[in-house]
Every structure is written in C-alpha cells, then in structure tokens.
C-alpha cells in the first residue's frame, strides 16, 4: 500500500457486500471526484490481498467486469457468479446488484476545495528576478526525488538541490500538486528571491490551481508552469509546450529570458528533469 488514496480505496471496496458490486466511477465519486475512476482501477490492480480487499466486486460503469489481476476476466466473473451476482450476457445486472452507499473520507472533494481557495487567494505581484529555479520530480515505485536547478539569466548553473522521500499520493489528473509538491518544495526551499519554473501547470487548470500555483504559494515565490501536455482544450501551446502563470501571476513572456536557443523547455527545467532521473536511479540502487 503506497499512498493514502490506496488505503481509502481499499477501505471503500471492503464495504461492498457479497452478492453486490460497485463501479470504479462510483468508488471515485465516493472519494470526491469521478475523474479518479482510472486511478481507482490502477490502485485495485495493485491489490496484493484479494481475500482482504475483494477487488473482484468492482466492475466497469457499463456492467462489464473489467480486468482482474488474479486470473483475468473469466476468474472475476466466476467469483461474482459464485457470490450470487447475476449477468445479462457478459454484463453484470447493475440495476439489481449495484452498491454505492460508501462511508469513506471524500479526500478528493476536500482537495478540490483547497485548490479553489488557493485560486481565489492568488494575486498579481510585481516580478523582478535575477535567478530562476527549475523544478521537476522523478519516481521509482513508491520513491520520489525532486530536483531544483538554480541558474542565472546567462544560463550558468549556480547550485542544485534535491529532496527524496516516499510518495504519499498517486497520480490523479488535476491533483498532481498533491503528489509532487513535497518533492519540489523540499528541493527548492533553500533558494529565495527567484522565479520558479515548474514542470506542470499554473492557472491553466480546471480550478486555476495547478502545481505551479501550489508550489509558488508554499514557497512564497512567483512561479510559471511549463507543461508538456494540456489539461484544458482552450490552452494553446507556446513553443510546443503549455505555459501558464502560477503563483503571483507573472507574465509568461518572462520565460523568454531563460529559454535558450534550441531547447524544448527552459534549460533549468531540462536540467532538473535530467538530475532528478539520475538521482532516483542512485536512490534505487
């Protein structure tokens, strides 16, 4: 069990009675946001004790049984039939067997509310800087390494910071800050009076509170998000990536000052990505 979300998913699934099923989406909704349905499925695929956590009782929203790590779909259906679940062809009769009355902490609902509050508090600030810090994270299993690369405006690397630790939250779309912030903040906390460049989104986020907003707010530093993929269709690319203001709402044009020729991202971010990957390999060994 790697994260708090693993514990809560397993806690919910244990509540499904024999002869009943639930869906990945229903479990995610109980946790506070149906967007986490795929994360629920991924977490259940990592279940190591099907006797304790009856993951075979969680099916797809259309009634198909879905995957099962302990024997595949055939074994999953066999177990459900043995428990009295009935089918219409290959689909569970959800109208008869659906359980969705979970008693579990709605962690995603609480996190979304915190993001909405953070977005309301994000105010425009004057941004003057002589240094930038690029921030990225690399993972191996339940371990993560954050890297922070301090550079001047001429492209000179002045210092590098790292922070290593255990992952406490899995990847869930729109909640990435809760996974990555401990590593980025830990790596960057020794640097002050800089502009943060963060591998992630800023205000180009459904609740206007992506990783760059979170991390800038914690450190009290202006930040810009530079993401490889968009979260929102309305977010146009900038030089092939997706740039948006983070904490302090700086003008994204300032990244031109630290985006050196031939780079896919500002160099501080490319280096942070490389250093984090190298360091996590060392941590693994």
Catalytic positions: 55
107-121 and 4-13 are packed helices; what angle lies between their axes, rounded to 10 degrees?
140
Look at residues 93, 86, 50, 45 and name the one whose alpha carbon lies nearest to residue 68: 45
Per residue in 47-62, is it b (16+ CB within 10 Å) or e — as a string? Answer: beebeebbbbbbbbee
Residue with tokens 């020729």: 261
Look at residues 34, 43, 35, 50 and name the one whose alpha carbon lies nearest to residue 6: 43
Provide the terminal-to-terminal Cα distance of the chain, rounded to the nearest Å: 21
Give the other-Cβ count within 10 Å of 18's Cβ.
11
Q: Is 24 exposed, middle or buried (0-12, 13-18, 19+ CB in 10 A)?
A: buried
């Amino acid at each position: 069990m790697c994260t708090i979300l693993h514990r809560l998913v397993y806690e919910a699934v244990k509540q499904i009675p024999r002869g009943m099923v639930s869906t990945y989406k229903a479990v995610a909704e109980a946790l506070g946001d149906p967007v986490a349905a795929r994360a629920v499925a991924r977490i259940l695929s990592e279940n190591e004790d099907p006797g304790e956590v009856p993951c075979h009782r969680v099916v797809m929203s259309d009634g198909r049984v879905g995957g099962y790590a302990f024997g595949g779909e055939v074994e999953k259906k066999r177990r459900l039939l043995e428990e009295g679940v009935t089918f219409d062809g290959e689909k569970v009769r959800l109208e008869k067997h659906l359980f969705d009355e979970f008693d579990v902490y709605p962690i995603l609902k609480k996190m979304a509310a915190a993001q909405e509050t953070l977005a309301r508090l994000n105010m425009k600030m004057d941004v003057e800087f002589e240094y930038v810090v690029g921030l990225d994270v690399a993972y191996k299993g339940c371990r993560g390494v954050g890297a922070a690369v301090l550079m001047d405006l001429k492209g000179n690397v002045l210092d590098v910071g790292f922070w290593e630790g255990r992952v406490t939250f899995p990847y869930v779309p729109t909640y990435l800050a809760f996974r990555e912030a401990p590593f980025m903040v830990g790596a960057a906390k020794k640097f002050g009076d800089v502009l943060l460049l963060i591998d992630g989104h800023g205000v180009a986020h459904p609740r206007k509170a992506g990783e760059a907003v979170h991390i800038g707010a914690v450190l009290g530093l202006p930040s810009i998000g530079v993401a490889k993929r968009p979260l929102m269709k309305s977010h146009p690319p900038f030089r092939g990536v997706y740039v948006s203001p983070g904490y302090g709402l700086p003008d994204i044009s300032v990244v031109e000052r630290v985006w050196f020729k031939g780079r896919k991202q500002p160099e501080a971010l490319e280096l942070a990505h490389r250093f984090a990957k190298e360091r996590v390999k060392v941590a693994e060994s």
